[in-house]
A and B are shown apart, each in its own frame.
Chain A
Amino acid sequence: MTTSADMAPIPYGGGAPSWYRLRRSRRARAAGGLILIILLLALAAPLTAGHDPLSGSADALLPPLTGGHALGTDHLGRDIWAQLVYGARVSLAVGILAALSATVIGTTVGAVAGYAGGWVDALLMRIAEGFQTLPRLVLALIVVALFGAGLGRLIFVIAILSWPQTARVVRASFLSLREAPFVDAARVAGMGAGAIVAGEILPNVLAPIVVTGSLDVATAILLEAALGFFGLGDPNRVSWGGMLNQAQPYLRQAWWMSLFPGLAISLVVLGFNVLGDSLNDALNPRLGEGE
């Protein structure tokens, strides 16, 4: 899965057969469908929520299926379903944007390290190792506690702490492709280093980048939820982690305050993990074991 040990570089990925394999994969389609549904619910939140997620009412701690609240209400009488739908926006925005930024940073660092080699490679990889060793949750907690928890800041912190995995994967692929015949050919034809890196090698490395990126979304959503659980989410928005934080003192009275947000986090994270996994199987047939 996401540990560095088994993320083998993929010598020549991409190409039509792998996309064909991907479309045929039932797991990939199920995961993609799940993510799409949640994404649509989140985007159309004003239509799908049914209640204002932030306005409380006298109907506090109503169990599910009572008083017109399908999933019940929390300790301030706010509708759980509405909070879930609006919380999905935060989770998905933070997860996807953080993973995207981490992918861009990681790809750049990995490409430079892998193509340049030598001391540049050694230095960049030491830095990546250092970032990988940092306790991410603790550091993120401190940054958010010190600087405040805007949505942009959350994305920045998570991205800054998440790029090394991508960098390592990209570097490994670049190392193996650097001496490939088609790269030599490009060099002989007089192409510059930048053009070779971006135009010749990078397209062949896209497959592992996409896999790592998909798994990164899952980790980023979990990290965002953990920050929210510590009460450090964006205070002006509903977040799933924040809902679980508020559920903690009410476990005895209102199980639904804990069950539904946790289920939502798990489903989205599961979706991205399965998607990444099945992408990996489809794009990396050597390890693929079918359904």
Chain B
Amino acid sequence: MGIGRLAVFALRRLLLAGPFLLGVVMINFTLIQLAPGDPVTILVGEYPAPPEYVERVRREFGLDRPLSERLGRYLWQLLQGNLGYSFANRQPVLSLITARLGATLQLTLTALVGASIAGVALGLLAARRRGGPADGLAQGATLFGYSIPEFWLGQLLILVFAIWLGWLPSQGNRSLRAPTVGWEAATDGLRYLLLPALALSLRYVSLIARLTRASLLEVLGADFILAARARGASERTVLIGHALRHAALPVLTVIGYNFGFVLSGSALIETVFSWPGIGRLLFDSITARDYPVMTAILLLVSATVVLVNLITDLLYTAVDPRVHYR
């Protein structure tokens, strides 16, 4: 596929993302309208806000006007980057979110990279020993790993590694006395990252391992594998050099299309480990009934998922030249 056609495809997908995001905004708006009580309460939050601000919001969103005009004003405010003001935190919602984005990305990306490596390795092992005890064990373990709620796994890891063994810290993302830059800061951060990343990744290790195994088994019966074997290629070359390339696609699918779930999982894990990211912010905003933050996070996460889905589709073509988009 030429770069030109790929660009056209990407553009079309971006244009399709528009209606979807509009849909999310509409859902958000409808929820605010339908919720019991005054919509202003939801736009401002239940935290005590100065009456002048409440009046300003009422005016800006035209809450005495007809519904269609209200929706228009809501969209206009969003387009201007006005996500509201959080009185629970005494900060604009936008800056609250950007301040926590890094921590969430650090956690989710570490978990996903770890899950990809471990998942592919486990799937490879299981496919190679198909039907053997190692395969059976891997299948059982991944089914279990897929069924455990990640936030409970987080609590278990805290119980074992932080409380009983005392090896690793359980709350936050850095120790107060550690320097902020340099080697020591990095190792300190890593100690804090290990448990939450592990808890978040187990589900995806399981998913990726199962899919890798299944697609490897499918590919191993193909003619080109037989051809490679006939040429005298070693088992290692066949598996890693030939078969695994084709198994890359499902792995990409899992990561790409589950990114929304990864972010949700991160919200739960951040709550367990007091990790100062978006998820922890979501939890705090729910506890404080800080509605502007809640609705802004919904919009942000939806937009992220759309973007990641698009990138996934584009990466498909890079990994598998047979995939074509109309």
Question: Which A residues are in CB contact (< 8 Å) with B210?
Answer: 1
Contact stretch, chosen from A65-73, A74-82, A193-201, A252-260: A252-260
Contact A141 B294 (CB under 8 A): yes
Interface string of B293-312 (1 = CB under 8 A from A): 01101100110011001000
Q: A163 at interface (Cβ–Cβ under 8 A)?
A: no
The one of B36, B149, B151, B163 that contacts A147, using a Cβ cutoff of 8 Å: B36
User: Among residues 236 to 291 in chain A, which have CB atoms less than 8 Å away from a CB atom of chain B?
Assistant: 241, 244, 247-248, 251-252, 255, 258-259, 261-262, 265-266, 269-270, 273-274, 277, 289
Q: A191 at interface (Cβ–Cβ under 8 A)?
A: no
Interface string of B143-185 (1 = CB under 8 A from A): 1101111011101101100010000001000000000000000
The one of B147, B282, B309 that contacts A138, using a Cβ cutoff of 8 Å: B282
Contact A252 B163 (CB under 8 A): yes
CA A147 – CA B34 in complex, angstroms?
9
Question: Which A residues are in CB contact (< 8 Å) with B253?
Answer: 3, 5
Contact A135 B159 (CB under 8 A): no
CA A218 – CA B147 in complex, angstroms?
8
The one of B250, B283, B297, B305 that contacts A133, using a Cβ cutoff of 8 Å: B305
Question: Which A residues are in CB contact (< 8 Å) with B24?
Answer: 134
CA A225 – CA B264 in complex, angstroms?
13
Known contacts: A135-B298, A247-B155, A248-B155. The answer to whether A229 contacts B286 by CB under 8 A is no
Contact B148 A266 (CB under 8 A): yes
Contact B156 A258 (CB under 8 A): yes
Question: Which A residues are in CB contact (< 8 Å) with B254?
Answer: 3
Contact A136 B260 (CB under 8 A): yes
Contact A251 B152 (CB under 8 A): no
User: Among residues 1 to 28 in chain A, which have CB atoms less than 8 Å away from a CB atom of chain B?
Assistant: 1, 3-6
Contact B287 A270 (CB under 8 A): no
Contact A133 B151 (CB under 8 A): no
CB nearest neighbor in B for A253? B163
Contact B156 A259 (CB under 8 A): yes
Contact B263 A135 (CB under 8 A): yes
Q: B317 at interface (Cβ–Cβ under 8 A)?
A: no
The one of A6, A222, A258 that contacts B211, using a Cβ cutoff of 8 Å: A6
Contact A141 B282 (CB under 8 A): yes
Chain A interface size band reads 35 or more
Distance between A250 CB and nearest chain B CB, rounded to angstroms: 10
Contact A146 B268 (CB under 8 A): no
Contact B35 A277 (CB under 8 A): no
Known contacts: A134-B260, A141-B294. The answer to whether A262 contacts B152 by CB under 8 A is yes
Q: B267 at interface (Cβ–Cβ under 8 A)?
A: yes
CA A262 – CA B272 in complex, angstroms?
14
Question: Which A residues are in CB contact (< 8 Å) with B148?
Answer: 262, 265-266, 269
Contact A130 B146 (CB under 8 A): no
User: Among residues 100 to 142 in chain B, which have CB atoms less than 8 Å away from a CB atom of chain A?
Assistant: 131
Distance between B26 CB and nearest chain A CB, rounded to angstroms: 11
Q: A44 at interface (Cβ–Cβ under 8 A)?
A: no
CA A1 – CA B305 in complex, angstroms?
21
Distance between B42 CB and nearest chain A CB, rounded to angstroms: 7
Q: A117 at interface (Cβ–Cβ under 8 A)?
A: no
Distance between B87 CB and nearest chain A CB, rounded to angstroms: 17
The one of B32, B211, B260 that contacts A135, using a Cβ cutoff of 8 Å: B260
CA A289 – CA B250 in complex, angstroms?
20
The one of A6, A134, A251 that contacts B302, using a Cβ cutoff of 8 Å: A134
Q: A43 at interface (Cβ–Cβ under 8 A)?
A: no
Q: B86 at interface (Cβ–Cβ under 8 A)?
A: no
User: Among residues 146 to 198 in chain A, which have CB atoms less than 8 Å away from a CB atom of chain B?
Assistant: 146-148
Known contacts: A130-B20, A229-B271, A262-B155. The answer to whether A273 contacts B264 by CB under 8 A is no
Across the A-B interface, give the 8 residue pairs with the lowest CB-CB distance, nearest first. Answer: A262-B152, A137-B264, A270-B147, A146-B35, A269-B147, A135-B301, A135-B260, A258-B155
Apart from the given pairs A262-B156, A269-B149, A277-B143, 20 other A-B contacts in the complex at a CB distance below 8 Å: A1-B211, A3-B211, A3-B253, A3-B257, A6-B250, A130-B20, A133-B20, A133-B305, A135-B301, A135-B305, A138-B267, A141-B294, A148-B36, A244-B155, A247-B155, A248-B271, A251-B170, A255-B159, A265-B152, A266-B144
> What are 13 A-B interface contacts by the 8 Å CB criterion?
A3-B254, A6-B250, A133-B306, A134-B302, A134-B305, A138-B267, A141-B294, A146-B32, A147-B34, A248-B271, A251-B155, A270-B147, A277-B143
